[in-house]
Structure 1
Amino acid sequence: MIRKAQKQDSEKAAVLIYDAIQDIAHVLTGERHKKKVFEQLERYFCQEVNRLSFQNCLVKTIDDIPVGIIVAYQGKAAIKLDEPIRAYLRDLTGKEPTIDPEADAADYYIDTVSVNPEFRGRGFGTELLLDAIHYAEAQGHPTVSLNVEENNPKARKLYESLGFSYKKTVMINQHKYSYLVKQL
């Protein structure tokens, strides 16, 4: 079953998000040690306003245990959604943090898709993507976008099979990503 995420999903969600974004999670949390990264990801997830908030997530569950997650939001909301992250990092480091822009303002942006490795290959990631696309369409968004790391051809093939096409190359945390867009 796919359902809206809930705060009590935070522990599983943090692991799934980390699995998808890894080094970006270290940047967003300001932490080096994985345990600390997970703890801060859980805090972000439980916030009402945050790019990684449960409010922006759907989870795929088996026996009500999250085994997959998708994080998505309107691109134009990214600056507001990142403010709690910037504030946390400013407090932690005393410096103004840099968070690389990931989404065009006009797009409904799929930030993260992740499925627990034990459950991959069952179509759960595709289900999550389709639910996010249908939600975007129902809300009247003209486009859905996502980034795929250039060294991940398997994921890119999946996205292209769902109607996404290349728009541009973006840099996120010093890695090249293909920015793919689907017209709705």
Structure 2
Amino acid sequence: MKIRSASREDAARVIPLILQANGEIASTLTGTGQMSEIVRVLTAFFEGEDNRLSYQNMLVAQEDGQAVGILIFYHGSQAAALDRPLIERLRHLKQDPSLTLDKEADEDEWYIDTLSVSPAYGGRGIGTALISAAEERVRNSAGEAKIALLVDQENKRAQRLYQHLNYQQDKVVQLYQHPYLHMVKWL
């Protein structure tokens, strides 16, 4: 397995992994419930720059010549700027200038926005390898830093993985009317 930075050319291989991880949130971020339109919008954002879904913020786990896992991460201080293109699109689409997205990342942390592994490759340590690669990049760029993620309160398997990797819950965050555990790790 190889972990690398994503490139624009990865779009067709990584969009299904983004959809797998984000479920209904993908509909909220794109402003549509129509799958073909969700895929089109996610692809445009992925291939673009300076937004939270951009290839610029993604690591890819590659095995057997294909993308089998992804991790999207960025610094929380950049979250508002990275969300701006998504919000502007949604405001135009919905004709609602006050529309916003729920705040996910704190300003003082590196934030793991999305982690997704193909079910066919589950249980092989790919998620752990992606998290370790993100942590290493944070260490190399920031020295001592905090890295965080949100996990669905119902997803006990993911919670165990993050606890095993020394992430600790520090609060509960409401995201799109659903509770998520905010888990942090100091690097």
TM-score by length of 2: 0.96
- Correspondence for 1:105 among 104, 107, 113: 107
Task: Please identify runs of 4+ aligned residues in structure 1 that moved more than 4 A.
Answer: none
> Aligned ranges for residues 27-38 of structure 1 at < 5 Å?
27-38=28-39
> Aligned ranges for residues 111-130 of structure 1 at < 5 Å?
111-130=113-132
Any idea what SS the aligned residue of 1:163 has?
coil
Per-residue deviation, residues 104-158 of structure 1 (Å, max 9, x unmatched)? 1110000000011111111101100110011111112510000000000100110
Percent of matched pairs sharing the same residue: 38
Any idea what SS the aligned residue of 1:71 has?
strand
Show the counterpart of 1:63: 64
Which range moves more in the overlay, 44-53 or 86-95?
A: 86-95
Distance 2:181 2:94 in 1: 31
Show the counterpart of 1:136: 138
Show the counterpart of 2:16: 15
> Aligned ranges for residues 72-87 of structure 1 at < 5 Å?
72-87=73-88
Matched-pair contact (CA < 8 Å) for 1:14–1:41 = yes
Any idea what SS the aligned residue of 1:122 has?
coil
Show the counterpart of 2:42: 41
Per-residue deviation, residues 28-70 of structure 1 (Å, max 9, x unmatched)? 0001012211111111101111101000000001233211100
Show the counterpart of 1:171: 174
Distance 1:23 1:98 in 2: 17
| 2:151 is aligned with 1:148 | yes
Any idea what SS the aligned residue of 1:135 has?
helix
Structure 2 residue identity aligned to 1:60: A
Any idea what SS the aligned residue of 1:11 has?
helix
TM-score by length of 1: 0.97
Matched-pair contact (CA < 8 Å) for 1:13–1:42 = no
Structure 2 residue identity aligned to 1:153: K
Distance 2:24 2:15 in 1: 14
**CA RMSD for the aligned pairs?**
0.9
| 2:95 is aligned with 1:94 | yes
